[in-house]
Amino acid sequence: MQPIGHIESDFPDKFGVPRQPGLASVAHAELILVSPYDDPLAVRGLDAFSHLWLTFVFHHSPERWTPLVRPPRLGGNAKVGVFASRSTHRPNRLGLSLVELLEIDTSHGVRLVLGGCDLVSGTPVLDIKPYLPWVEARTDARAGYAPEAPSLLEVRFSDAAEAVLAARSDGTSLRELIRQVLAQDPRPAYRNGAEERVYGVRLRDIDVRFQAMEDASRNIVLRVVDIVSPSPEA
């Protein structure tokens, strides 16, 4: 199989990428088709659909697989079979993502502007198929150990982080992107309490430093400590 294109997104690294599509609705991404698939004829009629299925490759995952995996929704400790999960450690490293189609740009080749994307920049895409809600949205389906969307955490910003955002032309959208990504708690699932450790997640061209803490009601809150430009060697 040959990739038909690749993703350019707000996620330069895999840490922090939402674990499912649509959870970070403001995340910007584009699918850039490559020759010979960048012919505008190949996407004729696609603008009539609001959502697309993307088949892609987990290119950052090792070329190995295990029969048992630890889904984050089970706390990162309980094991299920790999085929009962959406783990990246799959026999063929194939992924399937449902994304919103916002725009088709055919001025120079073909670029698809996407919303709610959960793919890291550089992800190779193998195929595109339009989403058909009348056959693919099954309200009677069972969702096993993930019956509903995960709960979200409160996200707070330090004065230093707010100052960085205020100085940026994209500060408003970046602030909401940070909030949506961190609210899902990108830390390993087994680290779900307060910690002194400061984590870093890369979004767009910055490194977001955050820490998990308890509020007055002993609820876990993620606090953005600072926002910095990543070092050249990062």
Q: Average pLDDT per run of 10 along the chain, which is 234 residues long?
A: 96 87 88 97 97 94 86 85 90 93 95 94 97 92 86 94 95 95 90 90 94 91 92 57
User: How far is it, in rounded angstroms, from Cα 205 to Cα 230?
Assistant: 8
pLDDT digits (tens, 9 = 90+) for 16-63: 888 888 888 889 899 999 999 999 999 999 999 999 999 999 988 877
User: How far is it, in rounded angstroms, from Cα 37 to Cα 4?
Assistant: 6
Supply angle C-alpha 29, 127, 26, rounded to 5.
Answer: 20
What's residue 99's pLDDT? 95
What's residue 65's pLDDT? 87
* Strand duo 220-228 + 154-157: pairing: parallel
What's residue 231's pLDDT? 63
Who contacts 172 (Cβ-Cβ below 8 Å, separation ≥6)?
165
User: Among 156, 106, 86, 101, which residue's Cα sits nearest to residue 131?
Assistant: 101
Who contacts 105 (Cβ-Cβ below 8 Å, separation ≥6)?
111, 112, 113
What residue ranges do the domains of the chain occupy?
5-136, 154-228
DSSP 228: E
What's residue 86's pLDDT? 86
Query: 5-136 adopts what CATH topology?
Result: Elongation Factor Tu (Ef-tu); domain 3 (2.40.30)
Please tell us whether the domain made up of 154-228 is placed in CATH 3.30.2310.20: yes
| Helix spans in the chain (H) | 133-136, 159-166, 171-182
* Strand duo 80-81 + 68-69: pairing: antiparallel
What's residue 77's pLDDT? 81
User: Among 174, 171, 28, 176, which residue's Cα sits nearest to residue 103?
Assistant: 28
The single residue listed with the structure tokens 């910095």 is: 228
Q: Collapse the DSSP code of 156 into the 3-class scheme (helix H, G, I; strand E, B; otherwise coil) and give the result.
A: strand
Sign of the four-CA dihedral 47, 51, 55, 57: positive
C-alpha 213: how far from chain center: 24
Who contacts 180 (Cβ-Cβ below 8 Å, separation ≥6)?
18, 23, 24, 25, 26, 27
What's residue 138's pLDDT? 87
47 contacts 135 by C-beta, under 8 angstroms: no
